[in-house]
């Protein structure tokens, strides 16, 4: 089993240690794909932080001191905490990944399974027909043009591989035009200002980390065009992607506003304030039942139950004699 970053291993069983490169190091200069990232061990997740931030892996174990390049793009897939996304809960808190790792991704998208008679029928039909065409192709039977499209990719694999390699080797796009830089700055400043008058406790809709993300995405867009210059269209494409991603993960439905804390800390400002209110009310009453809290705070039962479970997991409250108490 290959580690994520790097590992020191006993190669010969006689305390003679060796260095084994992990997936991010082996994929240096390319893309590392990780499935079921939500099931990774905590030490493996921790080792990814520096690799994604600095693009290097540092090893200092068993007398081995080394720095390995991990200039790698990471494509990861994982499952929500309860196996599927719940419609009426904030999406950000359903992602089973720590905020320190989550915040290092430039883009995050959710794939939710919502039953739809029409869409479901189209998906099943496509799956069945694709398998039929693949079976006939395997048996050497002649396929129709429509069946051929189902079996063969839209772009030949070798052509696409050569195109990507050529783009990465020959294109080093940068922002040269002041208009392009101004558009990026305008988006960031206006998006942050869209939250209105900010005070110390107001949610921040966008962090400076996203400026770097937009630049990387804009440069990638230019590279796809085989250009060494980032144009306004590239920045606009990057902005569109980042905004769409934030609408799925960084949006607080309670206050109808963007909140970067959902990704950066794992909970929105409204959640943080509501949970603090639950704790302070329990403390003020010297202990309270669920019904007393629901009546006093006028919070939806399902939401209150979720907040109580969260606070219990964090060790901030506990149950004793049918009452909730502050630790």
Nearest-angstrom CA–CA distance, 145 and 325: 69
Predicted local confidence at residue 90, as pLDDT: 65
Q: What is the DSSP letter of 9?
A: E
- Domain ranges for the chain, please list them: 6-78, 172-261, 269-326
Nearest-angstrom CA–CA distance, 104 and 250: 14
Q: Of the candidates 202, 176, 179, 205, which has an alpha carbon nearest to the alpha carbon of residue 263?
A: 205
| Pairing label, strands 251-252, 73-76 | unpaired
Q: How far is CA 159 from the centre of its chain?
A: 30
Nearest-angstrom CA–CA distance, 65 and 79: 36
Which CATH number is correct for 269-326, 3.30.70.3290, 1.10.10.10, 3.40.50.1980, 3.30.70.2470? 1.10.10.10
Q: How many CB atoms lie within 10 A of CB 46?
A: 15
Residue 59 pLDDT > 50, yes or no? Answer: yes
Predicted local confidence at residue 179, as pLDDT: 95
**What tokens does 75 get?**
């494509």
For residues 297 and 304, the answer to whether their CB atoms sit within 8 Å is: yes
pLDDT tens digits, one per residue of 65-102? 778 888 888 899 988 887 777 765 667 677 777 777 88
Q: Of the candidates 247, 220, 245, 250, which has an alpha carbon nearest to the alpha carbon of residue 235?
A: 220
Residues 6+ apart with CB under 8 A from 63: 17
Mean pLDDT of 292-305: 80
Do the two domains 6-78 and 269-326 of this chain adopt the same fold? no
- CATH hierarchy code of domain 172-261: 1.10.8
Residue 265 pLDDT > 90, yes or no? Answer: no
Q: How many CB atoms lie within 10 A of CB 145?
A: 6
First vs last C-alpha separation in the chain: 42
**What tokens does 82 get?**
């309860």
Mean pLDDT of 151-156: 83
| Pairing label, strands 6-10, 317-320 | unpaired
| Pairing label, strands 73-76, 31-34 | parallel
Nearest-angstrom CA–CA distance, 327 and 18: 47
The structural architecture, per CATH, of the domain 6-78 is 3-Layer(aba) Sandwich (3.40)
User: What's the pLDDT band for 313 if we cut at 50, 70, 90?
Assistant: confident
Q: Of the candidates 237, 306, 327, 277, which has an alpha carbon nearest to the alpha carbon of residue 90?
A: 306
């Amino acid at each position: 089993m290959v580690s994520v970053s790097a590992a020191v291993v006993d190669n010969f069983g006689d305390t003679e240690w060796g260095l084994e490169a992990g997936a991010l190091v082996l994929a240096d200069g390319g893309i590392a794909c990780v499935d079921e990232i939500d099931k990774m061990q905590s030490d493996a997740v921790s080792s990814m932080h520096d690799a994604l931030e600095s693009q290097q892996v540092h090893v200092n174990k068993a007398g081995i001191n080394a720095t390995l390049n991990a200039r790698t793009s990471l494509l990861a897939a994982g499952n929500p905490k309860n196996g599927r996304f719940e419609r009426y809960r904030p999406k950000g808190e359903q992602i089973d990944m720590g905020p320190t790792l989550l915040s290092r991704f430039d883009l995050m998208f959710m794939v939710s399974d919502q039953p739809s008679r029409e869409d479901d029928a189209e998906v099943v039909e496509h799956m069945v027909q694709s398998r039929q065409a693949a079976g006939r192709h395997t048996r050497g039977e002649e396929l129709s043009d429509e069946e051929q499209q189902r079996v063969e990719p839209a772009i030949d694999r070798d052509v696409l591989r050569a195109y990507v390699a050529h783009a990465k080797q020959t294109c080093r796009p940068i922002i040269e035009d002041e208009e392009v830089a101004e558009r990026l700055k305008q988006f960031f400043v206006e998006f942050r200002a869209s939250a209105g008058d900010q005070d110390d406790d107001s949610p921040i809709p966008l962090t400076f980390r996203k400026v770097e993300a937009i630049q990387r995405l804009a440069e990638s867009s230019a590279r796809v065009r085989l250009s060494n210059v980032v144009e306004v269209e590239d920045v606009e494409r990057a902005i569109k992607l980042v905004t769409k991603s934030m609408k799925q993960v960084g949006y607080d439905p309670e206050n109808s506003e963007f909140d970067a804390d959902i990704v950066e800390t794992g909970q929105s400002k409204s959640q943080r304030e509501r949970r603090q209110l639950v704790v302070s009310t329990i403390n003020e009453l010297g202990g309270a039942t669920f019904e007393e809290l629901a009546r006093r705070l006028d919070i939806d039962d399902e939401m209150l139950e979720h907040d109580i479970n969260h606070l219990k997991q964090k060790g901030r409250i506990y149950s004793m004699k049918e009452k909730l108490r502050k630790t």
